[in-house]
Chains A and B, each alone.
Chain A
Amino acid sequence: MYTLTNVTKTYSGRHPVTALDHVNLTIPDGQLVAIEGPTGGGKSTLLQMLGALDVPSSGDVELGDVQLARAGERQLTKVRAERIGIVFQNFNLIATLSAQENVETALVPLHVSAAERRERAMKALESVNMADRADHLPSELSGGQQQRVAIARALVKKPRVLLADEPTGNLDVGTRDEILELLLERWRADSLTVVMVTHDPRVAEGAQRRLRIEHGTLHETMAAG
């Protein structure tokens, strides 16, 4: 379960920006949450706090028994490696590695043997219907296919949380629906806690709970039923 207490994130610079302003949020295990809002409102920053990709300027971020805001780099790395899967808007696949090898990169920190890595990567690709493209480079895949591979990479380590930052942002409508369906399918099958950042209402419609963040301030637009 996620618990955010009075989380503030300010980016310093010539013009300091407060991306999160005293955000309080609790996300129970297994919930599918959509976070909406305008560009620059703080959606991605909030996701980065949840994903232990950054630390708040003040406040607490807890994931289960781990205080992400106060943990050291080693512990944060462990959390990212074991508990959190993340999918990016731009897919962020490694261009020089094949689809299977990209999925395997998520298993490298878990010290899994090479043979087991390959096997689990193939199974993950099968679960997203990409097994036949295992040895293709990202440049040889369509946008939707690359996002499928990215989802496989996020889920291969069997995380407790799946974070998706605009997962359909770069996809056409048809592909968007495919990816959305895939995410919902995995959420149901693996009992994941899913947090999706999106500016697409169609994507947010499938969520149990909808939040909106503007100018760093979070409020609930649809509570979980």
Chain B
Amino acid sequence: MLMTYARRELSRRHKQTIVVAVGLAIAVALLMVVNSVSSGVSKAQSQVLAAVYGVGTDITVTQRPSTSASAQQSFGFGQGSGNSDAQGNTSVSSTVLRASRENQTFADSALGTTQHVNGVSNAVSALVLEQTTFHGQIGAEGTSGASPAPSSPATGSGTSDKERHRFGGGQFNLNSTTVTGVTPGSTLGPLSTLTVTSGRTLASGDSGQDVALVSSTYAKTNNIALNQTISVGGANVKVVGIVDSTSSTVSDVFLPLDTAQKLAGLTGQINEIYVQAANSGQVDSVATAIGKALPSATVSTDKTLAESVTGSLSSAATLVGSLGRWLSYGVLAVAFGLAILFTVSGVNQRTRDFGTLKSIGWSNPRVVGQVAVESLLRAAVGAISGVVLGLIAILVLNKLGITLSGSTGGFSVRGRSRGESGGTVPGGAPSGGGGGALERASTAVNVVLHNPVSAETIIIGLAAALIGGLVAGIIGGWRAARLRPAAALRSVE
């Protein structure tokens, strides 16, 4: 009887039914789209971050450099250094392997401290280094043929023009190579971003060995083949694998961590820790705990890293997070209001009917239930229509293949972008500050926005509409039931 009566009444008032259902359908669809796009943008941000920091990293631990650590690099040559040729030109070269100037090194005991923090499921350390090679040729004195400079009476040097020594000129090259010491066999951190294109990756057994992986870009630029040896920090290491990376920034060379520490003279030192939390909901609390355990460290989470993401991806996140969400809530409120208004209006038109039903023994809860069921049926029509509409809208958005760009502004790049060769600064003088790629502070990643459709999205949409229908039904039913039967019958007599 309940359902029969409800269906008949909805059919009788089909215009009201359609208006309410359409309103709810639009609200549900908008809610679904906003929820889906929000998830898509969030996933895109994670992709950007994963591209830089590797998959699975929830927290990174670094330490800001002290003033001395960021001192300019210098190369010194003692008297008699280099090799001279018959013309008196002297060739000199020097290689320096040192920690990246972006982050200070700290004791690797911090890794153990981090691993023992409650809520940490995995943590690995890394040592990011820069290898800079200076190679140049200094010309012999006076071989330039330049006229002697006039003497300066003020100097009172007492030397004649013939005796003054002049710089013979020269040409210098500066090569920079990024080297990262990684934990062999780890599934977190820089190693997790690598895909082996030939050879193998670094396994646990490689600890302490003079073996290396090189990026495919670096290998191609420097004509490095598998099983070839390269010079790192003055030592010869064997290339056991050539790799690509999912990260847009990739180191040129990867060494086992202890090998990198040994070659750089930084035994027992690291400058980055990658942490994975046991529960994604605990990331913030775990980060706080790590910060307390390591007071001098800089602890960054996905959230703080996400705040550094700029570009159209960031704009989309803001748009969806604020305007989109509030718009969907607003439309939902309007739809709820419509449902309530039309339900109450329908009840007012049926005052005599409800008065009659109460006079033959229908209780107040039964009357409220009747109106609530009718309202729920109406809402169900709107909910199902809204879900279909929402799914179509999400499908269209995904088909459009919207590309958003995200940059992790404010974080240093440890390597160089794919396709870019080792930093060489040609010219007559060293750059004094290392390679140009190392100076760049951010990197851009383009991601195609994919808006997922999850069961949660659909359930949220359905629940929103049905709750609205239920609320409207209860309010309308209460209005129908509150009158005494005589008053209800009298209202139309």
Contacts and interface: CB of A to CB of B under 8 A. Distances in A.
B486 A104 contact: no
B362 interface: yes
B9 A109 contact: no
Given A53-B485, A54-B487, A109 B1 contact: no
A85 B361 CA distance: 9
Interface string A134-156: 00000000000000000001100
B296 to A, nearest CB: 72
A108 B1 contact: yes
Interface stretch (A30-38, A86-94, A196-204): A86-94
Interface in A58-106: 73-74, 77-78, 80-82, 85-86, 88, 90, 92, 94-97, 101, 104-106
Interface in A13-52: 45, 48, 51
A54 B359 CA distance: 10
Nearest to A104: B1
B12 interface: yes
B359 to A, nearest CB: 5
Contact of A80 (B8, B361, B489): B361
Interface string A176-206: 0000000000000000000000000000000
B360 A101 contact: no
B398 interface: no
Interface in B4-23: 4-5, 8-9, 11-12
A48 B486 contact: yes
A106 B489 contact: no
Contacts of A82: 361
Contacts of B486: 45, 48, 53-54
B489 A88 contact: yes
Contacts of A55: 484
Contacts of B12: 95-96
Contact of A86 (B1, B8, B359): B359
Contact of A97 (B5, B363, B366): B5
21 contacts: A45-B486, A53-B484, A54-B484, A54-B486, A74-B363, A77-B361, A77-B364, A80-B360, A80-B361, A81-B362, A82-B361, A88-B489, A94-B5, A96-B8, A96-B11, A97-B5, A105-B1, A105-B357, A106-B360, A108-B1, A109-B360
Interface of B: 1, 4-5, 8-9, 11-12, 352-353, 356-364, 366, 484-487, 489, 493
Interface of A: 45, 48, 51, 53-55, 73-74, 77-78, 80-82, 85-86, 88, 90, 92, 94-97, 101, 104-106, 108-110, 114, 117, 153-154, 157
